[in-house]
């Protein structure tokens, strides 16, 4: 299979690239990535760069000419590229609309014209908004609460419309919060792990009782792999939640990180709450289990520890971002008021 992976230099995309090259050594992967602040060529190791089945293109998914050219040489698309940080979308939503909606349109339309055989659209559980009295199921109303979530909802429904209108074989994953190696240190887990290692405060928004449903990134990758390779009659035009059903609050996660690193609770700093902060995200993965037999492989306790160890053992990776990347420093100053 020849696969175009958009956003492949980001957190989940780069994990997916290395997962796929190992699991399907005969597949060819073309990554298209704009290398925004979140894209990082250091997310690919030497083995990947030396793999003749891996190709990297630096470019934007809104570049129609380039996208059309790349589509001619692939059978399938996995579309990760997006602006992804809720807090950034609250400060500036325009780039989210441009990449997450317009960029998705360019990809879908080019895929339609090229006759792509499978288009896996990576959506998110954020599209549901609050999971109030039950873990969200695929038929629930979509009530996104942030500009990020609203942009992803637009993209999710646009992708579906390309199935209903043009029969482009689209399948959509809505996964919960991922954790693992190579996550940009603006998101909760890598920010708190690396801050704790540096004895810096951990900025908990509001009371910290908001919960998320945590999944190890390689479990998300195996679900995408299943969506890529299943029969069309099972997945085309379908939405699948992906989760490993580990709901924990921000304070729970903070406690786990402090304990694992042997750091004091005095590092916890309650700061102003995020506007529109979702109280609970949780998704029910019964459908993907029933239809495709997919199950998560990784438990939470071992893998959060493994993840913390990864940041401990890969200081150069995150210090290059935290200490050398101008966009990172600017973001931390704007959001948390410190340089």
Contacts of ligand NAD in 146-165 (CB under 6 A): 152
Measured CA to CA, the distance from residue 29 to residue 330 in angstroms comes to: 33
Q: Residue 41 contacts by C-beta under 8 Å, 6 or more apart in sequence?
A: 9, 35, 56
Measured from the CB atom, is 144 or 169 closer to ligand NAD?
A: 144
158 binds, among ligand NAD, ligand TYD, none (CB under 5 to 8 A by kind): none
Report in angstroms how near the CB of residue 33 gets to ligand NAD at its nearest: 5
Q: Tell me, yes or no, if 126 is annotated catalytic.
A: yes
Nearer to ligand TYD, 61 or 86 (CB): 86
Q: Identify which of 118, 120, 138 has the alpha carbon closest to the alpha carbon of residue 240.
A: 138
Partner that binds at residue 188, options ligand TYD, ligand NAD, none, CB closer than 5 to 8 Å by kind: ligand TYD
From residue 223 to residue 262, what is the string marking binding to ligand TYD with x (rule CB under 6 A)?
---------------------------x------------
Whole-angstrom distance, CA of residue 152 vs CA of residue 145 = 11
Query: Rounded distance, CA 296 to CA 258, Å?
Result: 26
83 is known as an active-site residue? no
Token pair for residue 12? 């989940």
Residue among 20 and 123 whose Cβ is closer to ligand TYD: 123
Pattern 49-88, binding to ligand TYD, x per CB under 6 A? Answer: -------------------------------------x--
Does position 81 interact with ligand NAD (CB under 6 A)? The reply is yes
DSSP-derived pairing of the beta strands 76-79 and 2-6: parallel
Residue pair 189/253 in contact (Cβ under 8 Å)? The answer is yes
Verify whether residue 133 is a known catalytic residue. no
- How many residues sit close enough to ligand TYD to count as binding (CB under 6 A)? 12
Q: In the numeric block, which tokens belong to residue 206?
A: 């509001």
Nearest to 127 by CA among 101, 98, 103: 101
Residue 36 engages ligand NAD in binding (rule: CB under 6 A): yes
210 is a contact residue toward ligand TYD (CB under 6 A): yes
Bridge partners, 118 (sequence order): 76
Paired tokens of 144: 């996104």
Among 78, 82, 106, 158, binds ligand NAD (CB under 6 A): 82
Question: From residue 96 to residue 125, what is the string marking binding to ligand NAD with x (rule CB under 6 A)?
Answer: ---x---x------------------x-x-
Window contacting ligand NAD (CB under 6 A); options: 76-84, 159-167, 258-266, 267-275: 76-84
When asked if residue 187 is in the footprint of ligand TYD (CB under 6 A), the reply is yes
The set of residues, in sequence order, having a beta carbon less than 8 Å from that of 252 and lying 6+ positions away, is: none
Check residue 205 for interaction with ligand TYD (CB under 6 A): yes
Residue 34 makes contact with ligand NAD by CB under 6 A: yes
In the complex, minimum distance from the CB of residue 85 to ligand NAD, in angstroms, rounded to a whole number: 7
Q: Please, which of residues 265-284 interact with ligand NAD by CB under 6 A?
A: none
**Residue 60 interacts with ligand NAD (CB under 6 A): yes or no:** yes
Where b means 16+ CB within 10 Å and e means fewer, 24-61 reads: beebbbbbbbbebbbbbeebbeeebeebebbebbebbb
Binding site for ligand TYD (CB under 6 A): 86, 177, 187-188, 191, 203-205, 210, 212, 250, 274
Question: Any idea which residues carry the catalytic annotation?
Answer: 125-126, 148
Binding site for ligand NAD (CB under 6 A): 6-7, 9-13, 32-36, 38-39, 60-62, 80-84, 99, 103, 122, 124, 152, 175, 177-178, 184
């Amino acid at each position: 299979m020849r696969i175009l992976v958009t956003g492949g230099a980001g957190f989940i995309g780069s994990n997916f690239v290395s997962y796929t090259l190992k699991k399907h050594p005969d597949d060819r992967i073309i990554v298209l990535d704009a290398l925004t602040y979140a894209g990082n060529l250091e997310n690919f190791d030497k083995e990947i760069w030396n793999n003749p089945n891996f190709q990297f293109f630096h470019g934007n998914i809104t570049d129609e000419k380039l996208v059309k050219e790349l589509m001619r040489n692939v059978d399938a698309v996995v579309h990760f590229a997006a602006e992804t940080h809720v807090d950034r979308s609250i400060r500036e939503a325009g780039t989210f609309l441009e990449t997450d909606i317009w960029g998705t349109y360019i990809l879908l339309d080019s895929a339609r014209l090229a006759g792509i055989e499978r288009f896996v659209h990576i959506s998110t559980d954020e599209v549901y908004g609050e999971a109030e009295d039950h873990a969200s199921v695929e038929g629930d109303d979509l009530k996104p609460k942030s500009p990020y979530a609203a942009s992803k909802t637009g993209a999710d429904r646009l992708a579906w419309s390309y199935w209903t209108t043009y029969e482009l074989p689209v399948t959509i994953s809505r996964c919960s919060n991922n954790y693992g190696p190579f996550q940009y240190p603006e998101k909760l887990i890598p920010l708190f792990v690396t801050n704790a290692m540096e004895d810096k405060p951990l900025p908990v928004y509001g009371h910290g009782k908001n919960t998320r449903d945590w999944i190890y990134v390689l479990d998300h990758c195996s679900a995408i792999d299943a969506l890529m390779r299943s029969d069309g009659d099972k997945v085309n035009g379908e939405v699948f939640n992906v989760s490993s059903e580990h709901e924990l609050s921000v304070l729970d996660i903070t406690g786990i990180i402090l304990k694992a690193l042997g750091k004091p609770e005095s590092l916890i700093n309650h700061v102003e709450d995020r506007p529109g902060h979702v109280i609970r995200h949780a998704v029910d993965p019964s459908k993907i289990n029933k239809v495709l037999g997919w199950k998560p492989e990784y438990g939470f306790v071992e893998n959060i520890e493994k993840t913390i160890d990864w940041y401990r053992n890969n200081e150069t990776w995150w210090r290059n971002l935290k200490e050398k990347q101008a966009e990172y420093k600017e973001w931390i100053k704007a959001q948390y008021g410190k340089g």
